[in-house]
């Protein structure tokens, strides 16, 4: 699968959530997520454990030079995350663990994440899943950024894992 994504620092989550609801975004979930990143030779591999026992293994590759970037990703839904994590630890060293509280909104083919990341602070992400035409994806991203009035100076190009490793 493929998406276009941005990440930004965003301190006022209440304001952001009000704007999203006013725009017509639908609240999907609020959950605690713990992402264990493994050191792999190429791309990024993380096991995401979600309170309540759900988990998914996520592998992705993306450009790291721009704040608006395309990401190619693959998901594997996992019924036994503890066993999978123990297995992966035997092959790949753990790079970092990201613990966050995430509220997820959807608008069309976009996911908007409102994140509180332990040790880092408040952020938001927009991920627009690529539709048939890549132009629709970029157009929807632009529309959301314009509506939410997120200044480009607040965009960051690093993942939460990178930011935690730099602390």
Tokens of 140: 């929807």
Give the per-residue pLDDT at 53.
Answer: 79
Give the per-residue pLDDT at 49.
Answer: 97
- The CATH code of the domain at 2-166 is 2.40.320.10
CA atoms within 13 A on the CB side of 31: 16
Whether 151 contacts 140, CB under 8 Å:
no
Q: Which residues of the chain have pLDDT under 50?
A: none
CA atoms within 13 A on the CB side of 69: 19
Q: Cα dihedral angle (125, 116, 99, 145), rounded to 10 degrees?
A: 0
């Amino acid at each position: 699968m493929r998406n276009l994504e941005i990440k930004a620092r965003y301190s006022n989550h209440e304001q952001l959530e009000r704007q999203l609801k006013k725009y017509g975004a639908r609240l999907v979930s609020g959950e605690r997520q713990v992402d264990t990143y493994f050191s792999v030779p190429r791309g990024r591999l993380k096991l995401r454990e979600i309170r309540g026992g759900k988990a998914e293994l996520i592998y992705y590759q993306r450009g790291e030079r721009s704040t608006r970037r395309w990401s190619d990703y693959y998901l594997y839904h996992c019924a036994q995350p503890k066993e999978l994590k123990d297995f992966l630890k035997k092959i790949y060293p753990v790079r970092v663990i990201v613990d966050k509280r995430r509220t997820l909104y959807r608008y069309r083919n976009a996911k908007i994440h409102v994140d509180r990341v332990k040790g880092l602070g408040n952020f938001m992400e927009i991920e627009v899943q690529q539709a048939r035409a890549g132009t629709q994806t970029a157009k929807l991203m632009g529309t959301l950024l314009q509506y939410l009035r997120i200044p480009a100076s607040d965009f960051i190009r690093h993942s939460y894992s990178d930011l935690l490793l730099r602390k």
